[in-house]
Amino acid sequence: MPPDASIAGGLKKAKTPKLKPTLGPITMKDAYCGDATDQNLIETIMGVSKNSQLYSGDENENSGHPIRVSGCIDLGSLRLEPENVARVVPGRIPMVRFFPSTDMKLVVVGSEFGHVGFWNVDARNEDGDGIYLYQPHLGPVTGIVIHPYSLTKVYSSCYDGFLRLMDIEKEMFLLLYSSNDAIVSISQRPNDVKSLYFAGAQGIVNMWDERAGKALTPWVLHEERINTIDFSTNNTNIMATSSSDGTACIWDLRFVDAVKPKLLKTVSHNRAVQSACFSPSGSCLATTGSDDKVGLVTGANFEDTSMIHYQNSTLRGIFSIRAIWGWDDSYLFVGSVKMEVHVISTARRTSIRTLRSPHISAIPSRLDAHPCEIGMLAGAAYGGYMWSTC
């Protein structure tokens, strides 16, 4: 069910686009579903991008500017205030991401109906409650990527087999890649704005190269669909994949033969692995399985694996629960079937705190920790939620 309409901002009813997405570019104007103008969003992102370039250099991956802050928080200070609850898109939300900037609190979500929605939390008093809604896809949005060195470019993937780039400077949704097969996950290396990794339902990883203008040679890495792709911030040549074949794998992209990269580690679950993500330091990997287990892989060479029991299997029709890291290697945050968020201590290998709120009306299966603001956590189900420290 959607958030309580008495407290939630944002959409009051489902919106439909002016035009259906086509095999080609779409203007942001044609994809826009809102009543109020989206010029405030465009101008805000353009301004933030210019400020970021002045600080760190234009798309300079070697500037030394950190792309993710790290630090500990007082878990007891996390609060979900009613003004931080909004219905951002119609229907369920399979993907939620914070915009990677300290200059604004902007949450980007994808919907099951192909929408990409922007929620400017600081602009809730503007027309539309700071909600900007587009529909560049025809099916569930499976991935959203915004690189901190290229803030005007928002990548999205979808079950419709399309990989699109929302170029805010050009005010266009560009079609980068299309396939008859669904695209299930996308990711970028932390130090590379010119390439994008994506995977589909066949266990294959592709890389889109902006310089070449095409997808390069694919790698067959799993027997079934690849649910997530992630890269270590400590060594961006190290990639992790999770798959419905019941495994998560760690790969070294420095060593690639004719078929695939070098396999460093395989983590096995009894059922599908819904996610595999590196910790902020890059020295640990967390996996979330549909077998009611969260895996923790540690050690200098990822040689140690432990399993933490956690009820993360969901009912049919609910998007899979995925654990995420907070702002250091101490805690994992994971949604609960009881409409809560649990905090797992990696040292104690158990849940140590529960984030509850009467404002949560559905399972917060998808979460994201703000990469630039310690203590700011977004969650999504049928609406958007944002926890912050007092």
Count of alpha carbons within 13 angstroms of residue 278, beta-carbon side: 26
pLDDT recorded at residue 311: 82
Question: Residue 114: what residue type?
Answer: G
What are φ and ψ of residue 206, in 5° steps?
Answer: -115, 160
Using CA atoms, how far apart are residues 140 and 116, in angstroms rounded to an integer? 10
> What's the rounded Cα separation, in Å, for the pair 251 and 264?
5
How many residues can be counted in the chain? 390
Q: Which structure tokens are listed for 296?
A: 């923790």
- CATH fold of 67-389 reads Methylamine Dehydrogenase; Chain H (2.130.10)
Q: What is the pLDDT of residue 58?
A: 47
Residues 6+ positions from 347 with CB-CB distance below 8 Å: 330
What pLDDT shows up at residue 12?
A: 55
**Residue listed under structure tokens 């931080």:** 84
> Does an H or E element contain 29, and which?
helix 28-31
Q: For 73-106, how does the pLDDT look when each residue is reduced to its tens digit (9 = 90+)?
A: 889 999 999 999 999 999 999 999 999 999 999 9
Measure the CA–CA gap between 91 and 211, rounded to whole angstroms. Answer: 36
Residue whose C-alpha is closest to residue 221's, from 278, 265, 263: 263
225 residue type, one letter: R
| Domain spans in the chain, listed from the N-terminal domain onward | 67-389
Residue 189 bridge partners (DSSP): none
CA distance 132 to 117: 6
Structure confidence at residue 109 (pLDDT): 96
CA-to-CA separations, 261 to 204, 221, 227, in angstroms, rounded: 12, 9, 18
C-alpha to C-alpha distance for 140 and 69, rounded to whole angstroms: 30
Name residues of the chain where pLDDT drops below 70. Answer: 1-21, 53-67, 314-317, 383, 389-390
C-alpha distances in Å from residue 238, one per residue of 22, 149, 213, 277, 278:
36, 20, 24, 11, 10
Q: What is the pLDDT of residue 9?
A: 58
24-77 pLDDT per residue, tens = 899 999 999 988 899 999 999 999 998 876 555 444 444 444 567 888 888 999
